[in-house]
Amino acid sequence: MTPGRLPHLRLAAALAFACAAAHSQTVYTRTVKEGGTVVQLSLDRLSKEPGDAPREFEDVTVQVKVTDAASGSAIPGGSPAAWLDRKADGAKTTAEQCAGKIKRFAEGSTFSRTEMDLTSFYVVLMNQDATLTVVDPRFGYGDTRLLAMVALDAPAEDWALTADGRRLYVSMPTANGLAAIDTATWKVAGKASEIPTAGRVALQPDEAYVWVAYDAGVAVFTTKDLKQVARIATGRGYHHIAFSANSSFAFVTNPGSGTVSAIDVRKLAKVRDLAVGAQPTWMAYSDLAKAVYVSNEGDGRVTAIDASTLNVLAKMETAPGLGQIRFAPGGRHALAVNPVNDHVYVIDAASNRVVQQGKLEKGPDRIAFTNKQAHIRHRGSDAVLMIALDGLGTEGAEIAAADFPAGRNAPGDMSLPTPADGIVQASGENGVLVANPRDKSVYFYMEGMAAPMGNFSNYGREPRAVLSVDRNLRERAPGVYETSAKLPGSGSYDLALLLDRPRVVACFDLAVAPDPAISAKKAPKLKVEPRITAGGAGEPSRIAFRLTLAETGQPESGAPDVMILVAGPVWQRRAVATPQADGIYSVEFAVPEPGMYSVFLSAPSRGLAYAPYATMRVK
């Protein structure tokens, strides 16, 4: 971070926090005292709509404030969790019942499905069209909850998420623009225009500026209001961007010029062009080495640049065709993949040498890390390879790899490529999310399993990139924890709260009121008729439903989100159903084992939540 900037940034952040609080409207608050601890829980409406009670499907900020009862001082360092659970009869929940509920919720029981879980994450998908899909994946329950379909001016190219998860910046090359998306409401909060073929997007570490690559260099904008502060020409080609950890320097690749431009962030001016090799593309910063490592596609060279002196430290040779380079946690070892010769290279930043290499599947093109493993995607294989991080660094040693299938098609095969990540670590999990464009699905893999433990369909769209947005209650100020959420439908609920340190367990009554505007537009009642033709084990079974209006018997056609789920004791599949004539929606599944299977259907746009509508016997 540039000297002298920190106090101003802190002041700006404090003012932004205060302004946000001033413009929100508290619609629910409850307080509980347990021992010497006071916990205040509140919901703040994010919109400016009138009303003094929480309403269905509105966006709210959930805040938990923990203080000492005697002194009133904040108690920091806790990890609160909260769930919203529908009550059938609206009866008061006893302390014993509350403790039992929270125990089941915290253990993640399959039979303890909640309407809102503030211990998990949302999944955001970059689609091939001009949309982003936002879902609550609910892998343990066999379905998803569509939260939003964000409309953009054009298909996205790249994106960057702020550290607190509250703002997402998306570039749109065919619209020559940048959009800022508020992740509390999932609406476009600001735009910047006249950025020719806007490409890569990057937030500098202190998040003072967001950088967007364009055809001749980079454009720099303030993160708060997208005000342009600089436009810096660098060189020719598709530019990638990296930063020093202290936000003093930005680095920009210029493949057509064979250089990397170093930019002084304080002056917002280019200070040096460094010749690094033929066609420099990807870059990665190592905080351990305080250096930027550049992969050159043209000659296969990896060049290390000192991020303080801007001098070239070392050059390491691999093979032409080199692609993405990325450092494992800790910044000691980098992996670089080569989709041309199907190799992976391990670089040791302590010695600036290539210490290991190995053969992979067809066309390795992307690298993602968890705390324990590297995951490598391919353009020509459905296998995602896994490399244990604790096995890296021994010079000349063989690279041991396992794999799992990430769908029916290669996850790196897509109609509209993007530099954004197609594999990411799932928030709070020892696992990854893998976007598979050709399957139009996302797969969830937990490390240690033989295959993905869940997947969900992307409503008929191709997911080109995936992002995991943490929805846990995060500590925004000492003893103050916040997150955003969308309330479920109207009804009576328990808002269950668990605080680990100091220990507090409580359930609050919460009434979510109907929204008159939504009630006036609610979908009419539908009649659901199953029409199932079961095949034998391993053979296609046709699962279809006919939807008709309950009052008139007329077919209900055109629903875009009819989802059918078939679930057995150890196997399940779901997919968006294909609309047929006369209100019929169908899918085909090859069920692998004989037995009885439950068949579920949902259509959120028509007011149908997931429910079992039929059973199917497979012989």
Distance CA 66, CA 600 (A): 42
Reported as a single tens digit per residue, the pLDDT across 564-587 is: 888 877 677 778 888 899 999 999
What local confidence, expressed as pLDDT, does residue 17 receive?
39
Report pLDDT digits (tens) over 360-414: 999 999 999 999 999 999 999 999 999 999 999 999 899 989 999 999 999 999 9
> In order of start, what are the domains of the chain with their CATH numbers?
6-118+474-519 (2.60.40.1930), 157-275 (2.130.10.10), 523-618 (2.60.40.1930)
**Four-CA torsion 63, 64, 69, 73, nearest 10 degrees:** -70
| 196 class by beta-carbon count within 10 Å (0-12 exposed, 13-18 middle, 19+ buried) | exposed
User: What's the whole-number average pLDDT of the chain?
Assistant: 89
- pLDDT, mean of residues 230-256: 97
Q: Select the highest-mean-pLDDT range: 52-66, 159-173, 519-533, 553-567.
A: 159-173
CA distance 496 to 467: 28
Sign (positive or negative) of CA dihedral 266, 270, 273, 278: positive
Looking at residue 530, its pLDDT comes to 93
With contact defined as beta carbons under 8 Å apart, do 217 and 231 qualify?
yes
Q: How confident is the model at residue 80 (pLDDT cuts 50, 70, 90)?
A: very high
Q: What is the pLDDT of residues 271-321, one digit of tens each?
A: 999 999 999 999 999 999 999 999 999 999 999 999 999 999 999 999 999
Output the pLDDT for position 523. 66
pLDDT, tens only, 469-516: 988 898 989 999 999 888 888 889 999 999 988 899 999 999 999 887
Mean pLDDT for 6-33 is 57
Rg (CA), the chain: 26
Does 147 have pLDDT greater than 90?
Answer: no
| C-beta separation of 524 from 422 below 8 A | no
**Among 200-204, 325-329, 611-615, where is mean pLDDT lowest?**
611-615
Binned at pLDDT 50, 70 and 90, residue 214 comes out as very high
pLDDT exceeds cutoff 70 at 184: yes
Please indicate, yes or no, whether the overall pTM of this predicted structure exceeds 0.75. yes
Residue 4 banded pLDDT, cuts 50, 70, 90: very low
> Does residue 281 contact residue 295 with C-beta atoms inside 8 Å?
yes
Q: How confident is the model at residue 49 (pLDDT cuts 50, 70, 90)?
A: confident
Report which listed range, 82-86, 119-123, 146-150, 221-225, is most confident. Answer: 221-225
Using CA atoms, how far apart are residues 87 and 29, in angstroms rounded to an integer?
A: 19
Does residue 20 register a pLDDT over 50?
no
Q: Please, how many CA atoms are within 13 Å of residue 546, restricted to the half-sphere of its CB?
A: 10
The pLDDT score that the predictor gives to residue 510 is 93
Return the percentage of the chain with pLDDT > 90, whole number: 63
